[in-house]
């Protein structure tokens, strides 16, 4: 009998669907589960559209304070994803929604308190307090506030928050402060280029900023006050959690059900939203916007967040039937694979959710 077996019928011609049903159910005694080409979803498990990673979009909205912005017709243009920032002096939550950042990273409330003593001498230092206000304004301009502000979060902040007393930075750990200034690695979070992010840079710091040196001076003085005199010389824990783990992942040879088998891209474990074929020594794909398509990506096929995931069984260079489309290269066919060469298959159920990451030898 057919029990315990899964037979995959490859093809992209809807006219062949009925004949395939007959072959499956009448002759093989099985149950036919239609793929996209036959009007189904292939019975795939996968990340539903309601939970899928959302990409940041540049939104241009009227200025909340009525002062004309730098965008078209006086609007204020803001990337609404994580690491996105509005114009300096404005607030992110006034010009964009936090819906995308929350979907991209996940939000959960874990408030902690700064507990700055009321007689702390810093409170009487006008120059120092001016720097705290400047750092606060830098945070307010960016999507950081979506998780680190009582005003923006629906159920309370996640760890430190900018309304936590006059010196809210007291609630930030040493490692967190080091991340702010770029002493602790956090590049796996991704970044927009400053020129396209209202001047806010994140290539040298963890906290997006318009003045890297000023931010680093502030953090360096705070760490020194806590007894850390050489922050650049410390061994700080990298920030990014699973992003770091996946960035450091070293692939091994594919198993029996992974790779390009009989000409078809194959993996196990459910539906995918992103499939890559990369050079064997390429970096692991990471978080959008700048680590999503690493150098060495030969071919990437994907679906938009609103569409259903897709299954295996399609040919390199030919996106599967349905909503999937080729994202890399942007136009034209991908490079031809060379028989005998090793390549890297990287399959994601969604961003940060790998299904397959392995090396295969292309057999032609």
Task: Judge whether 11 and 264 are in contact, CB under 8 Å.
Answer: no
Q: Closest Cα to residue 298, out of 326, 272, 259?
A: 326
| Residue matched to tokens 């004309």 | 68
pLDDT band at 1 (very low <50, low <70, confident <90, very high): very low
Structural domain boundaries of the chain? Answer: 63-240, 249-361
What pLDDT, in 10s, does the model give residues 215-266? Answer: 999 999 999 999 999 999 899 999 999 999 999 999 999 999 999 999 999 9
- Which DSSP symbol is given to 85? B
pLDDT band at 322 (very low <50, low <70, confident <90, very high): very high
**Chain-centroid distance, C-alpha 300:** 16
Q: 128 pLDDT exceeds 70?
A: yes
List CB contacts of 344: < 8 A, sequence separation 6 or more.
Answer: 251, 276, 277, 278, 279, 280, 282, 296, 357, 358, 359
Q: What pLDDT, on a 0 to 100 scale, did the predictor assign at position 35?
A: 61
Interatomic CA distance for residues 80 and 96, integer angstroms: 6
User: Mean pLDDT throughout 87-113?
Assistant: 93
User: Mean pLDDT throughout 118-125?
Assistant: 97
Q: What pLDDT, on a 0 to 100 scale, did the predictor assign at position 36?
A: 53
Task: Judge whether 300 and 327 are in contact, CB under 8 Å.
Answer: yes
Q: What pLDDT, on a 0 to 100 scale, did the predictor assign at position 161?
A: 96
Task: Judge whether 258 and 354 are in contact, CB under 8 Å.
Answer: no
What pLDDT, in 10s, does the model give residues 262-304? Answer: 999 999 989 999 999 999 999 999 999 999 999 999 999 999 9
Average pLDDT for the chain: 92
Q: 2 pLDDT exceeds 50?
A: no
pLDDT cut 90: percent of the chain above it: 83
Q: What pLDDT, on a 0 to 100 scale, did the predictor assign at position 359?
A: 99
Q: What pLDDT, on a 0 to 100 scale, did the predictor assign at position 27?
A: 63
Number of Cβ within 10 Å of residue 272's Cβ equals 29
Among 105-109, 114-118, 279-283, which is the least confidently predicted range? 105-109
pLDDT band at 39 (very low <50, low <70, confident <90, very high): low
| Residue matched to tokens 């099985």 | 30
Helix (H, G, I), strand (E, B) or coil at 156: coil
Interatomic CA distance for residues 304 and 275, integer angstroms: 13
């Amino acid at each position: 009998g057919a029990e315990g077996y899964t037979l995959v019928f490859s093809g992209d011609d809807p006219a062949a669907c009925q004949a395939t049903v007959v072959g499956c159910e009448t002759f093989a005694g099985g149950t036919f589960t239609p793929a996209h080409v036959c009007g189904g979803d292939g019975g795939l498990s996968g990340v539903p559209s309601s939970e899928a990673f959302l990409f940041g979009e540049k939104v241009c909205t009227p200025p909340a304070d009525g002062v004309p912005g730098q965008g078209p017709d006086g609007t204020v243009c803001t990337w609404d994803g994580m690491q996105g920032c509005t114009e300096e002096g404005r607030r992110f939550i006034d010009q964009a929604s936090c819906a995308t950042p929350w979907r991209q990273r996940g939000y959960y409330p874990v408030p902690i308190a700064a507990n700055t003593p009321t007689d702390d001498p810093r409170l009487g230092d006008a120059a120092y307090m001016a720097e705290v206000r400047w750092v606060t304004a830098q945070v307010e301009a960016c999507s950081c506030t979506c998780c680190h502000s009582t005003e923006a979060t629906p159920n309370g902040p996640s760890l430190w928050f900018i309304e936590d007393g006059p010196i809210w930075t007291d609630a930030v750990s040493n490692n967190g402060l080091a991340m702010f200034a770029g002493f602790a690695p956090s590049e796996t979070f991704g970044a927009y280029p400053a020129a396209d992010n209202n001047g806010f840079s994140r290539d040298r710091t963890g906290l997006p900023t318009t003045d890297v040196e000023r931010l680093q001076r502030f953090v360096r003085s705070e760490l020194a006050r806590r007894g850390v005199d050489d922050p650049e010389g410390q061994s700080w824990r990298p920030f990014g959690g699973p992003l770091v783990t996946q960035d450091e992942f070293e692939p091994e040879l594919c198993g029996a059900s992974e790779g390009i088998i009989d000409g078809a891209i194959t993996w196990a474990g459910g539906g995918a939203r992103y499939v890559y074929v990369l050079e064997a020594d390429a970096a692991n794909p990471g978080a959008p916007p700048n680590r999503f398509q690493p150098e060495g990506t030969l071919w990437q096929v994907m679906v938009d967040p609103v569409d259903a995931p897709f299954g295996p069984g399609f040919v390199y260079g030919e996106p599967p039937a349905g909503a999937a489309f080729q994202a890399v290269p942007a136009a034209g066919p991908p490079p031809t694979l060379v028989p005998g060469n090793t390549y890297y298959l990287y399959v994601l159920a969604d961003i940060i959710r790998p299904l397959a990451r392995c090396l295969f030898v292309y057999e032609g």
